[in-house]
Amino acid sequence: MSVIKISTAQISPIFLNKQETLKKACKAILEAGKNGAKLIVFPEAFISGYPDWVWLIPNSKGAELNKLYIKLVENAVSIPDDSTTQLCKAAKAANINVVMGINEKNSETSSASLYNSLLFINDEGEIIGKHRKLIPTGAERLIWAQGKGDTLKSYLTSAGIIGGLICWENLMPLARNAIYQNGAQIMVAPTWDKSPNWLLSMQHIAREGGVFIMSTCMSLKMEDIPEEYEFKKLYPKGREWINTGNSCIISPNGKIIAGPLEMEEGIIYADIDFDEIIAAKRMFDVVGHYSRPDVFDFKIRRWSVK
């Protein structure tokens, strides 16, 4: 079929609580499947929360940062583990493909460093791949390690060919080109950025790649942060929202076809027609007739990941 329904989940995690966040994720997966979606995408670092304290606490506060980092690692995901088993079971039960944003342990070595990762699960409940964010932004570098070129891939699924980049690595032209060259039809973009400039970039990327873009941002309120976390006091007084979301789905011509959803939790849906990709690429195909391989040489340096 050339037309399918896809969905993006703008929901809040149960902050730094992996098991409760997993329950919420599985519930959303089942709901989207029941509503006929063939794909659901979750926000950046959904399991088990975006470490927003890195923008608030100076690195000189080592004791406080250590406590938070330990908690983040304790509630992070290894691939595979019981967390991924639960997600896979939900995906199979709902007959839906899932892209999940996670804090991922480096379980191939020490299990003490973290990556900002995307986990790809098909509608058979199988893990088909992962992507580790190439370069964390600014203060995020105090939390997440750098990913490698191995995970710049796209995956053939029942919902089309899906690829993805995380937050500001979407602004890296060569990283985008790597995903385009893998034939992506749907490009997922889990993010923490809710700004108007971000949405403008997403519209440009949809046109550039001739792809459907799923910009998925976490909605998070002050009340979602438990009182036990002292960094909560560092936000301005009277603040209600830490992140308002603005998740949306964009067509290959750059038009927003679902969302933006602002200042609320919810799952947004869009019916997409893959023929729109072909129509968009008639005039501009960035990795096809517009690529000029006689002028430009593009390659990815790949290293093996255990």
Q: What is the pLDDT of residues 27-63, one digit of tens each?
A: 999 999 999 999 999 999 999 999 999 999 999 999 9
Q: Say how far apart CA 157 and CA 217 lie, in whole Å.
A: 23
In a domain, 155, yes or no: yes
Phi-psi group of 222: left, alpha or beta (phi > 0 → left; psi -120 to 50 → alpha; rest → beta): alpha
pLDDT at 301: 83
pLDDT at 305: 41
Catalytic residue annotation = 44, 133, 167
At 135-190, the pLDDT tens digits run 999 999 999 999 999 899 999 999 999 999 999 999 999 999 999 999 999 999 99
In a domain, 20, yes or no: yes
What DSSP string runs through 207-265? HHHT-EEEEEE--EEGGGS-TT-GGGGGSPTT--EEE-EEEEEE-TTS-EEEEEEESS-
Q: What is the pTM of this model?
A: 0.95
CA 70 to chain centroid, in Å, comes to: 23
In a domain, 98, yes or no: yes
CA 115 to chain centroid, in Å, comes to: 13
Q: Say how far apart CA 96 and CA 157 lie, in whole Å.
A: 10
**Domain span at 127:** 3-283
In a domain, 35, yes or no: yes
In a domain, 255, yes or no: yes
Structural domains counted in the chain: 1
pLDDT at 1: 62
What's the pLDDT band for 306 if we cut at 50, 70, 90? very low
Query: Average pLDDT, whole number, for the chain?
Result: 95
Structure tokens of 196? 């108007």
Three-state SS at 179? helix
Mean pLDDT of 223-245: 95
Per the CB < 8 A criterion, the answer to whether 280 and 252 are in contact is: yes
- CATH at residue 17: 3.60.110.10
In a domain, 303, yes or no: no
What's the pLDDT band for 303 if we cut at 50, 70, 90? low
Q: Which residues contact 227 (CB under 8 A, 6 or more apart)?
A: none
Mean pLDDT of 70-92: 97
